[in-house]
């Protein structure tokens, strides 16, 4: 099935222009930075350039099993001999790639990747990992990923829908007595079943949600309140979302804090207009905390930022230099004790699109400065 899908996707990647657009961005970057070549070794950049391919063997590692070398005229796969067949037949099938291979056992004790990169890519190599003998250019390369192409947006909508469906299915099926570990296992199962890889699985219940902003399963058992907070990846694209479930009437304190988090979230979305300075978007949004009596709460947890081929491409602060781009994705996550709002959204010509909206979870419209934004609510059971 995977090979069949690859055959369907490749004409879009190659003749449709996605690969050409991205390789041009890379070569323009090389020229601007005065580099002789670029060595890409991270899974995020591999997935970005190949339109959703995967280079990882160890799921937890951001560095892949192979590297890509881009020169002004050529495109190389740099790989140990035991990975060449799989990558050329599956991940890079149909791409205009040349292979630079080395015996796997030589790569264990020496940097064969760098040796080949210098032989074919010159001495002034930019790298997305801190590799001796190269120039570390990951921050600049990350910016090339911000503006999503039409093909990427189509894939992102699919990934967001699948991730939200998985999290919401588990959330709707929660019942008192479940442990945090059981809930985490159910979420992981639903994600893997849909072809997604969970990269963040924060599951918390009751007092854990009230005390901690990042709740790790720690043996607690659900009584009244549960939080499912995930990041999940497919095609290299990462989706983030949080869903909250409460059994019985919602305590007024939680309701009040959740309403404030919703207002902060709406303020963030209000600022997502192409060209806007994200530092100003941030300052406007966090001012909402103070207007509702929680002026210091923003200091207790980051508020989110750009998303795409990483859980956060960057975290927004009052000193951020980035601006909002058309077709850029964001995931903001304002929090207070026991309250949180988080979805993955896309900046479009028509405004902000909530990618993780499925239509099967309670949402409400929250108004900010005359505009209304769709915000996920706490599910009451």
Q: Give dist(CA 288, CA 266) in Å, integer.
A: 10
Q: Are 65 and 83 in contact (CB under 8 A)?
A: yes
β-strands 237-246, 225-234 pairing: antiparallel
Residues with Cβ < 8 Å from 1, sequence gap 6 or more?
none
Q: Is 364 helix (H, G, I), strand (E, B) or coil?
A: strand
Q: What is the pTM of this model?
A: 0.93
Tokens linked to 359: 């239509």
Band of residue 12 on the pLDDT scale cut at 50, 70, 90:
very low
The predicted pLDDT at position 5 comes to 41
The predicted pLDDT at position 303 comes to 98
Residue carrying structure tokens 């900046």: 347
Domain ranges of the chain: 2-143, 150-380
The predicted pLDDT at position 4 comes to 39
Q: Is the model's pLDDT at 7 over the cut of 70?
A: no
Q: Is the model's pLDDT at 142 over the cut of 70?
A: yes
pLDDT digits (tens, 9 = 90+) for 191-200: 999 999 999 9
Q: Is the model's pLDDT at 350 over the cut of 70?
A: yes
Taking the domain 150-380, which CATH number applies? 3.90.230.10
2-143 belongs to CATH 3.40.50.10190: no
Band of residue 180 on the pLDDT scale cut at 50, 70, 90:
very high
């Amino acid at each position: 099935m995977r090979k069949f899908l690859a055959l369907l996707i490749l004409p879009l990647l190659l003749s449709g222009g996605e690969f050409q657009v991205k390789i041009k961005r890379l070569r323009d970057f090389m020229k601007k930075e005065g580099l002789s070549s670029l060595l890409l070794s991270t899974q995020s950049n591999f997935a970005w350039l190949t339109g959703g391919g995967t280079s990882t063997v160890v799921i937890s590692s951001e560095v892949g099993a192979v590297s890509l070398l881009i020169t002004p005229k050529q495109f190389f796969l740099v790989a140990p001999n035991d990975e060449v067949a799989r990558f050329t037949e599956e991940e890079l099938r149909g791409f205009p790639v040349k292979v630079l291979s080395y015996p796997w056992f030589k790569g264990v004790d020496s940097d064969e990747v760098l040796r080949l990169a210098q032989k074919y890519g010159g001495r002034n190599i930019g790298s997305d990992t801190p590799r001796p003998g190269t120039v570390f250019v990951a921050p600049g390369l990350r910016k090339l990923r911000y503006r999503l192409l039409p093909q990427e947006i189509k894939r992102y909508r699919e990934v967001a829908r699948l991730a939200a469906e998985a999290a919401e299915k588990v959330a709707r099926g929660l019942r008192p007595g479940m442990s945090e570990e059981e809930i985490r296992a159910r979420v992981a199962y639903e994600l893997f079943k849909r072809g997604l890889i969970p990269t963040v699985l924060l599951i918390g219940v009751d007092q854990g949600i009230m005390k901690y902003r990042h709740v790790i399963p720690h043996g607690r058992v659900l009584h009244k309140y549960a939080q499912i907070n995930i990041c999940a990846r497919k095609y290299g694209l990462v989706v983030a979302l949080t869903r909250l479930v409460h059994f019985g009437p919602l305590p007024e304190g939680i309701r009040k804090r959740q309403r404030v988090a919703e207002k902060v979230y709406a303020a963030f979305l209000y600022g997502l207009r192409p060209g806007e300075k994200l530092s100003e978007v941030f300052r406007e949004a966090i001012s909402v905390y103070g207007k509702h009596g929680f002026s210091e709460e923003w200091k207790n947890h980051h508020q989110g930022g750009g998303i795409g081929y990483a859980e956060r491409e960057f975290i927004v602060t009052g000193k951020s230099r980035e601006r909002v781009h058309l077709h850029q994705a964001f995931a903001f996550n304002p929090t207070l004790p026991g309250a949180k709002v988080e979805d993955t959204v896309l900046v479009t010509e028509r405004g902000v699109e909530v990618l993780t909206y499925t239509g099967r979870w309670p949402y409400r419209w929250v108004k900010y400065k005359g505009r209304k934004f769709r915000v996920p609510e706490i599910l009451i059971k």
